[in-house]
Chains A and B, each alone.
Chain A
Amino acid sequence: MMRKTLFIVAVALATPAAAQLRLPHIIRRPGQPQPLPPAQVQPGLQQPIGVLRTDFATQAGGTTAYFMSGSAELSPQARTVLSGQSAWLRLHPEVSVRIEGHGDSNDTRDHALALGARRAEEVRNYLMLLGVPAAQVSAMSWGKERPGAPRAVTVIVPSGGPAGVAAGGQP
Chain B
Amino acid sequence: MNLSSNTKSVKTPIYLDYHSTTPVDPRVLETMMPTFSEVFGNASSRNHPFGWAAEALVEKARAQVADLIGASDKEILFTSGATESNNLAILGVAELYHEKGRHLITSPTEHKAVLDTMAVLERRGYEVTYLNLDSTGLISIDELEKAIRPDTILVSIMAGNNEIGTIQPISEIGRICKQKGVLFHTDAVQAVGKIPVDVQAMGIDLLSLTAHKIYGPKGVGALYVRRKNPRVRLAAQIHGGGHEKGMRSGTLNVSGIVGLGRACEIAKQSLRIESEKLRTLRDRLWQGLQDNLGDIYLNGHPTERLPNNLNVSFAYVEGESLMMGMKELAVSSGSACTSSSLEPSYVLKAIGVGEDLAHTSIRFSVGRFTTEDEIDYAIAKVVSTVTRLRELSPLYEMAKEGIDIKSVQWTAH
| Binding partners A and B | no
> Which residues of A come within 8 Å of B, CB atoms?
none
> Which residues of B come within 8 Å of A, CB atoms?
none
